[in-house]
Structure 1
Amino acid sequence: MQTILGASGQIGHELAIYLKRDFTSDIRLVSRNPKQVNGSNQLHRADLLDASDTLGAVEGSEIVYLTAGLPMDTRLWVEQWPVIMTNVIDACAAQGARLVFFDNTYMYPQTDEPQTENTTFRPHGEKGRIRAAIAGDLLSAMEKKRLTALICRAPEFYGPGNTQSITNSSIIEPLARGKAARVFLRDDRLRSLIYTPDASRAMALLGNTGDAYGQTWHLPCDDDRLTYRAFIALAAEQFGTEPRYRVLKRWQLRLAGLFNRRIRDAAELLPRYETDNIFVSDKFKTRFPDFRVTTFRKGLASIRDGHLVPNKASAGK
C-alpha cells in the first residue's frame, strides 16, 4: 500500500498516476474529500489536523507521501502546519511506514546564491519560518531513527490542470486567454521552475528507491533557466497569443495587498523575484541519469494541448 496524504491537489493527483503506471496498483488517496484518479484507488476521508484520523489514514501503508497544501494564509500556516507534521510523523512511526515529504524552498535565502540540498535555512517571513521548522522536525525525527523518511524539495511550479502557483495564475493563465501577463518586480532575472508532472514522477521514483531514504533531494528542473521575459515569449508562441505583460512594482503590490489577502500573504516571497533564482538539482540527475526532464518548450506545449488554453481562433486580444 502506498498512501498519498493530501491527494486532491495537482501534485497528489499526478503522483497517483505515476505510482500506478510505474510501481503499484495498491494506492490509497487521502483527503477531506478524496476523488478517484486511476479508477481502482482506495479512497479514505481524513483530516490531517486530527491525530486519530491521520493514524487511520496511514494504517497498513508501506510508503506514505505527504503532499498536502494549505491556502496562502500565514495564520493558517502558523497554526496548522506544525500540527500536520507532528501527526504524520507520529502516525508513520507508529505504523512503521516510510515517509516521503514534498517540500518547498520558502526557508532558503531569497538571494542569487545557488540553492543545493546543503543550503542553510534563512527564512524571510513567517511562512518561511514555519516551513523551516516543520522540515527541521522531520529531519530531527529521522536523525533519532523514529522513522525512515526522505524530503523532496521543489521550487516554484508551472504545469497543467489545477496547478497552483504565481507563475500559473499571473503568467500562464492570462496569456492562455489572450490577456496580458503580470510579472512581479523584474522580468530580467533567471527563474528556476519545475514542471509539476516532473515533480510528481520524480517523487514516485524516489519513494520507491530504497537508498534514497535518509536524505533531502532537490527535484529535477530544466537547467536552461529563462527570465520571465523569455518565458512569456515562449509561452505566447506555444499558445498562439501575444506576449503582452506588465511588471508590477512593489508599491503596486503593496496597494493590491490592502484589498487582496492572498497578495498580502505572498509579500514575504517578493525578494526572490528581484534576483536570479538558481535551484540546483544535480544530485538527483546524477543518481537517476535516465530521468528525462521536461524542457520549458515541451512543458508549455503540453499545457496547450491539455486544453488549458483556448483555440487560437478564439483567443482574445
Structure 2
Amino acid sequence: MLSKNEHVVVGTGPLGLALINELLKQGKSVKAVNRSGKAFVPKSVPCIKSDITDLENTRNILKNASVIYNATGLPYREWPTVLPIIMNNLIQASSENDVKLVYADNLYAYGPQKEPFHENMAYQPVGEKTRVRAQLATTLMDAVKQGKLRATIGRGSDFYGPYALNAMLGQRVFLHLLEGKAVELIGNPDTLHSHIFIKDFARGLTILGDEDQAVGEVWHIPHAAPMTTRQLVEQISSRLSKVPKYRIANKFIVNVTGLFNPFMRDFKELMYQQDQNFIVDSSKFNNHFAFDTTSHEQAIKETSDWYIKQQK
C-alpha cells in the first residue's frame, strides 16, 4: 500500500488536467478521480471511477491522500443539488483522514462589484449560481474555523489554455480563428477583464496545497495584467496570422436566445461579468508566496500551439 502522500485531484476537466500535469511536473504522486474512470491523463496517473456524492466512496479515495484538490466541474443545472453534497462529503472525509483540502473556486460568490475583486469582499449573490458558490465557500471556511479540517480556497477568473474548449477564450476564439470563422464573444469586449492562464491557476493551487500558511484563507491566484477581451483577441489573431471577424452577443441577444438556448439561459445571471470591468486583485497571494505570472503573450503562444496541434 502506498504511504500517505498521494495528491488526489477530483475532477478531470481542463483545470483538473492542468493540476495533474503540474503535480507530476513537481514529482508528486497523483491520483485522478471522476465519475467515469476515464480521462486524458498520463499513463502513470490512475484514474479512479468514483461518485463523490457517496460519502463512503469519498472516504475510500482519501485513504492514502495528503492533499485533495476539489476541481469538480459540472453543468450549471447540477450546481444547487450536487455541489453542496460533494463539498460536505469532502469536508467529512478529509476531516476523518487528516487530508488537506484545496478548493479551486471562481469569483461568482462576490456578485457584481465596483472595485477590483479582493479576498475581504462580502459576498453579494445575485442569483442561483452565485448563491451556490457563496454557500460552498462559506461552508468550507466555517468547517475550518470549527477545527474540522485543514483547507484553503484558491480563486481565479476566466481561465484559458490547453483543453479549455468552452472558456470565453476557448474554441470560439482560437479554433474559430484557425477555421476562418467569426470569433464569438458575450457582452462588452471593450471593458477590462482579468483572464488567467490555466497553467498559472493550477500552479497557484499546488502552492496552496504545499504551504501551511494557506490554511483557513481565501487566495486569488495571480493573473496577468487585465486587458480588454478585444485586445486579447487581437493578440491571439496576430499570433495565428489571422484577421478577426466578430459575432458579439449583447445583453438583449443573450436574453432572447436564452429562451431556446440552455447555455445563454444559464449565463444571463452572469452577464455583469462581461458588461463591466472585471478585475482581480491578487496582491495578497503575491505578498505571501513567490510566483511568476505567465504573460498573456506566452500564454497565447502555448495555447495557440495546442490548438494547432489538435488540428493535425
Compute the TM-score of the two structures, normalised by the length of structure 2.
0.93
| Unaligned ranges ≥5, structure 2 | 1-5
Contact 1:235 1:300 in 2 (8 A): yes
Matches within 5 A, 1:68-83: 68-73=72-77, 76-83=78-85
What is the distance in 2 between the residues matched to 1:308 and 1:144?
49
Structure 1 Cα separation of the partners of residues 114 and 240 of structure 2: 30
Q: Is the 8 A contact 2:174 2:307 kept in 1?
A: no
Provide the residue aligned with 2:135 in structure 1.
133
d(CA) in 2 for partners of 1:310, 1:85? 34
Question: Do structure 1's residue 61 and structure 2's residue 65 form an aligned pair?
Answer: yes
2:295 is the alignment partner of 1:295: yes
Distance of 1:36 and 1:301 partners within structure 2: 22
User: How far 1:310 sits from its partner (Å)?
Assistant: 8.1
Please give the alpha-carbon distance, in whole angstroms, between the structure 2 residues aligned to 1:174 and 1:111.
32
**CA distance, structure 2, for counterparts of residue 249 and residue 21 of structure 1:** 41
> CA, structure 1 residues 310+16, in 2 after alignment: closer, same or farther (shift >3 Å)?
closer
1:185 is aligned to 2:187: yes
Shift of 1:110: 1.8
**Counterpart of 2:301 in structure 1: which amino acid?**
A
Whether the 8 Å CA contact 1:176–1:310 is kept in 2: the answer is: no
CA contact (8 A) 1:160 1:308 kept: no
SS in 2 for 1:168: coil
- Which AA in structure 2 matches 1:264? R
1:231 is aligned to 232
The Cα shift of 1:33 comes to 2.3
Report the AA paired with residue 192 of structure 2.
L
Checking the alignment, whether the CA contact within 8 Å between 1:192 and 1:278 is kept in structure 2 is yes
Deviation by residue 1:233-259 (Cα, 9 ceiling, x = unmatched) = 111101111122133222211221122
| 1:45, distance to aligned residue in structure 2 (A) | 1.3
**Counterpart in the other structure of 1:47:** 51
Alignment of 1:95-244 (within 5 A): 95-223=97-225, 225-244=226-245
Report the 3-state secondary structure (helix = DSSP H, G, I; strand = E; otherwise coil) of the residue aligned with 1:262.
helix
Asked if 1:11 is matched to 2:22, the reply is: no
8 Å CA contact 1:303, 1:309 repeated in 2 = no
Give the drift of 1:163: 4.3
Instruction: Kindly state the Cα deviation for residue 228 of structure 1 after the two structures are TM-superposed.
Output: 1.6
Q: Deviations over 1:101-158 (max 9, x none)?
A: 1011111132331111111110121000011001100010000010000100111111
**Shift in Å at residue 186 of structure 1?**
1.1
**What value does the CA root-mean-square deviation take over the aligned residues?**
1.8
Deviations 1:218-244, CA, capped at 9 Å, x for gaps? 011002x11122111111101111122
2: distance between equivalents of 1:188 and 1:114? 17
From 21, 29, 35, the equivalent of 2:32 is 29
Instruction: Give the distance between the partners of 2:52 and 2:273, measured in 1 at CA.
Output: 30
Aligned residues: 306
Closer, same or farther: CA 156–56 of 1 in aligned 2, 3 Å = same
Instruction: Indicate how the Cα distance of structure 1 residues 309 and 269 shifts in structure 2: closer, same or farther if over 3 A, else same.
Output: farther
Q: Secondary structure at the match of 1:221?
A: coil
Per-residue deviation, 1:306? 1.4
Return closer, same or farther for 1:227/1:36 CA change in 2, 3 Å cut-off.
closer
Whether the aligned pair in 2 keeps the contact of 1:23 and 1:208 (CA below 8 Å) is no
Structure 2 CA distance for partners of 1:308 and 1:267, relative to 1, 3 Å: farther
Report the CA distance between 1:69 and its aligned residue.
0.8
Read off the aligned partner of 1:27 and give its amino acid letter. V
Q: Distance in 1 between matches of 2:44 and 2:27?
A: 14
Change (3 A) 1:21 1:122: same
TM-score (norm 1): 0.91
| Identity, % of aligned positions | 29
